Amino acid sequence: MPVVQIEMIEGRTEEQKRQLVKNVTNAVVESVDCKPEAVKIIIREMKKEHYAEGGVLYKDKK
């Protein structure tokens, strides 16, 4: 029943997301001792103007 929510900047390929959910599920299973089927993952993509650190939009960085 671990529920994992992952928020990241948009632009990853479908294949990267496929790897992401496989690898994160394995990481959870081996760390906290649960069954793979129990792990649910939600991915959310953010535009570069929807994330900020230090008060500055990711879009404006560098």
Contact footprint for its own copies (CB under 8 A)? 1-9, 12, 14, 16-28, 30-34, 36-37, 39-46, 49-60
CB of 34 to its own copies, least distance (A): 8
Is 2 marked active-site? yes
The alpha carbon of residue 8 and the mean position of all alpha carbons in its chain are separated, in whole angstroms, by 6
CB of 44 to its own copies, least distance (A): 7
In the complex with its own copies, the residue whose CB is nearer, 60 or 62, is 60
The alpha carbon of residue 31 and the mean position of all alpha carbons in its chain are separated, in whole angstroms, by 17
Closest CA to 47 of 6, 4, 11: 11
Q: Which residues are catalytic?
A: 2
